[in-house]
Amino acid sequence: MPPFTFACPQCHALLDTSTPNLWRCPAGHGPYPLEDGIWRCLTPAQSSYYAQFVQEYETVRRAEGWGSPSAAYYRALPYPGRDDPHAAIWHIRARSYQTLQRRLLAGRPPQRILDLGAGNGWLSHRLAQAGHHLLAIDLLVNPVDGLGAHHHYPPPPFLPIQASFNQLPLAAGQADLVIYNGSIHYATDYEQTLREARRLLAPAGTIVIMDSPCYSQPSSGAQMVRERQARFQQA
């Protein structure tokens, strides 16, 4: 298991992790089970709250043709090949990954990294292969486009955790890097989301926001939302 100390996402009490497939809160919250290799750290209320978003997001992603049955596809990311239908997007992701490596990780000892919005785990896989300690965190757990794709990757492992950005199952002050991996734009309360990230940062830690759209005009962001809604209706 990566060198992190886990805490209840509801009360921040340190979790009892002595049972192989179950984390227990001493205050009685949870418990938080390991299912299909993924630690499930959403509360029932959170699962209900996010259910519609997850359904709509997965519907659009299936219609857009994301994912592959091939383990080689996932292991190659962010370099899927020129014939991939999303090659242009992966080209952007690859450049961001290279910049992250060059500017923040080159020459560093192993870092404790939170990959928030990890999706299929490609970034966690890459950084774990480079010797870093990774928690891959997302709402999605499906085996094509979510954390369930973790079975495609070889060791060294990263730890997949289903959790909300706003209530993460970790004790404070641990993370050298908190990376919002193409995901900060899905936050519903930026202040709360970033406050949680700051709680988890080690004293010299860094928050990284990568591959999220930025708009100079609110109307441009509203147009993006309309386009996503239209894609969902078409799907």
Pick the CATH number of 38-234 from 1.10.260.40, 3.60.15.10, 3.40.50.150, 1.20.120.350: 3.40.50.150
In whole angstroms, give the CA distance from residue 116 to residue 136: 7
DSSP H/E element including 135: strand 133-138
| Average pLDDT for 19-28 | 97
Domain boundaries, the chain: 38-234
The overall average pLDDT reported for the chain is 92
Q: What is the pLDDT of residues 71-80, one digit of tens each?
A: 999 999 999 9
38-40: strand order across its sheet: 16-19, 22-24, 32-35, 38-40, 159-162, 133-138, 112-116, 175-181, 201-210
In whole angstroms, give the CA distance from residue 123 to residue 100. 11
- Residues ≥6 apart with Cβ < 8 Å to 222: none
Query: What pLDDT score does 157 carry?
Result: 86
Q: What is the pLDDT of residue 212?
A: 83
In this predicted model, what pLDDT tens digit does every residue of 46-71 receive, in sequence order?
A: 999 999 999 999 999 999 999 999 99
Residues above pLDDT 90, as percent of the chain:
85
Q: Which of 120-129, 139-148, 223-232 has the lowest mean pLDDT?
A: 223-232
Q: What is the pLDDT of residues 96-109, one digit of tens each?
A: 999 999 999 999 99
Instruction: Give the pLDDT of residue 70.
Output: 95
Are 147 and 118 a contacting pair, CB within 8 Å? yes
Cα 36 to Cα 89: distance, rounded to the nearest angstrom: 29
The pTM for the full model equals 0.91
Mean pLDDT for 123-143 is 97
Q: What is the share, in percent, of the chain residues with pLDDT greater than 70? A: 90
Bridge partner list, 220: none
CB 215 within 8 A of CB 221: yes
Q: Looking at the predicted structure, is the pLDDT value of residue 226 above 90?
A: no
